[in-house]
Amino acid sequence: MSVKTEASPGWRQRLTDFLEKYKVGAFFQKYTMTLALVVVTFVFWLWPGKEGLILLPSNLTSLIAENAYVFVLATGMLLCILTGGNIDLSVGSVVCFTAAVGCTMMASGANMWLTVLVMLGIGLAIGAFQGFWIAKVRVPAFIATLAGMYAFRGFSNVVLNGYRVDIANQGFLDLFGTGKTSFIPDFLRQGIPALDAQFTKDNAFLVGLIGANSVTKFNVTCMCIGTVATLVFIALKVHKILSQKKLGISQSIPKQIVTLVLISILAIWVSFQLSCYRGLPMVLLWIALVLGLYAYITNKTAIGRHLYAVGGNEKATALSGVKTRNVYWFAYANIGLLAGLAGILTAGRAKGIDPVYGEGYEMDAIAACFIGGASAYGGTGKVSGMIIGALLMGVINKGMIIVGVDANYQKVVKGIVLLVAVMFDVMSKRQKR
């Protein structure tokens, strides 16, 4: 190495110039976790003896199903963390409690929609209750939610009498579960053999790509929804780029177009993969709804702006006329609501509820946020980053199961990933100063 450098003195200089010119360092800093996700996926994809397994349609589907609660809870957690690194330790117990109430209600024959409303309502009420102590009485968030963590675990046990309660309500399971029936049905193709034959004939390209057997199962509705969603996404992005250009905002347009193209390709590819299996899982719909809504709230609304401002400098925000106490209250009431939703999804996936369900969920949500670049001191962090963080953890989990790593070691790896991710974050910020 040293010989080579000496032989070509201009080589180093040219490399540095190249790095400076294209801001490679800044690029790596900004997209560390995205690159890590790509690399990790690739490593599992190429794993000797298990090549390609990680990206099989069935595995993609179960990746989404298994991590639904992480996405939902981490969204709520992100809002709390934004206010100044505050976390909510109670969500795991709240998930279990809402699910316990919901399952018990359905077991005694309650209407599923009423049950869903009650579950969300309970979540919101618990969140608002804890938020009251945190925002108005100023009990430290850590302690208030630790209390909630114990209390609602206890209440779950009380409601369930210590036993598991199963869900028999098929409608509920179809909508919120992850079983065979919990997919958006293929409205556009009814599975009539004659029509299928015609479809195979018409789509010779598709047959060549995935084989005739898969084509007869191909979920056209899923593919259509995926395509439409991607087109909508492209339209929104293009509109944003154009309006930026009109306003003369100095953003690198080529970079945005590259990102846009990459995300679109990824979206189309995922829809295609899902279409090859059972179609669009219902949970993906709920996750997408939550993520989209909260990306909008954090980016576009006044309350979102207040979350960032309070975390960045609470005193300055208060002196700007923002009622900072209410911002805290909002964040905690909101995570309660989302814990209610996570309770619905958890019960749906498990087709019932056990008194120990939800344990450790809060930690998964917190880890996803921090791996996704949220600051432990608040004020910075994005929904998109959190998605990457949750996906990275999900892929590592799934990958380790596929390649057969001992379950005990999986937790060790999770811990290391969290530490390394936050270490990168802290170090890159220190360099700036």
Partner 1 sequence: MSKTLLEMKSITKTFPGVKALDNVNLKVEEGEIHALVGENGAGKSTLMNVLSGIYPYGTYTGDIIYDGKVCRFSNIKDSERLGIVIIHQELALVPEMSIGENMYLGNECGHRFSIDWNKTYSEADRYLKTVGLKESSKVLVKTIGTGKQQLVEIAKALAKKARLLILDEPTSSLNEEDSRALLDLMLSFKKQGMTMIIITHKLNEVSYVADKITVLRDGTTIETIDNHGKEPVSEERIIKGMVGREMTNRFPKREKTALGEVQMEITHWTVHHPLYPERKVVDDVSMYVRKGEVVGIYGLMGAGRTELAMSIFGQSYGTHFSGELKLNGKTVKMRRSESDAIRHKIAYVTEDRKGNGLVLSQSIRVNTSLANLKAISSHTVIDSDREYAVAKEYREKLRIKTPSVDQLVGNLSGGNQQKVLLAKWMFAEPQILLLDEPTRGIDVGAKYEIYCIINDLAAAGKSVVLISSELPEVLGMSDRIYIMNEGRFVDEMKAEEATQESIMAAILRSGKGA
> How far is residue 48 from each of residues 43, 61, 103, 393, 416, measured CA to CA in Å?
10, 23, 44, 21, 24
Of residues 213-242, those binding partner 1 (CB under 8 A):
none
Q: Kindly report the backbone phi and psi dihedral angles of residue 300, in degrees, each rounded to the nearest multiple of 5, phi listed first.
A: -115, -15
Helix (H, G, I), strand (E, B) or coil at 382: coil
Q: Site for partner 1 (CB under 8 A): which residue of 252, 321, 404, 408?
A: 321
Site for partner 1 in 113-152 (CB under 8 A): none
Q: Tell whether residue 318 is a contact of partner 1 (CB under 8 A).
A: yes
What would the two tokens of residue 401 be? 């199961």
Q: Give the CA distances from residue 259 to residues 223, 227, 264, in Å, rounded to whole numbers and listed in that order.
A: 22, 17, 8
Please tell me whether residue 3 binds partner 1 under the rule CB under 8 A: no
Token pair for residue 183?
Answer: 């997919």
Residue type, 412: V
Q: How far is the CB of 321 from partner 1 (least distance, A)?
A: 4
85 or 92: whose CB is closer to partner 1?
Answer: 85
Member of 303, 363, 403, 422 binding partner 1 (CB under 8 A): 303
Among 34, 214, 313, 384, binds partner 1 (CB under 8 A): 313
Considering only residues 362 to 391 of the shown chain, the ones binding partner 1 according to CB under 8 A are 375, 379-380
Taking CB under 8 A as the rule, does residue 245 contact partner 1? Answer: no
For residue 166, list its beta bridge partners. Answer: 352
48 is a site residue for partner 1 (CB under 8 A): no
At what angle are helices 282-300 and 57-82 packed, to 10 degrees?
Answer: 30
Tokens of 157: 């046990």
Q: Which of 309, 327, 366, 391 binds partner 1 (CB under 8 A)?
A: 309
**Closest CB to partner 1 among residues 203, 380:** 380
According to the binding rule CB under 8 A, does residue 252 interact with partner 1? no
Residue 319 sits in the site that holds partner 1 (CB under 8 A): yes
Minimal distance in Å, beta carbon 340 to partner 1? Answer: 23
E strand segments, 89-248 = 165-166
d(CA 411, CA 401): 12
Binding residues with partner 1: total (CB under 8 A)? 26
With vertex at residue 429, the alpha carbon angle to CA 426 and CA 432, rounded to the nearest 5 degrees, is: 155
> Which stretches of the chain bind partner 1, using CB under 8 A?
243, 247, 249-251, 300-303, 305, 308-309, 312-313, 315-323, 375, 379-380
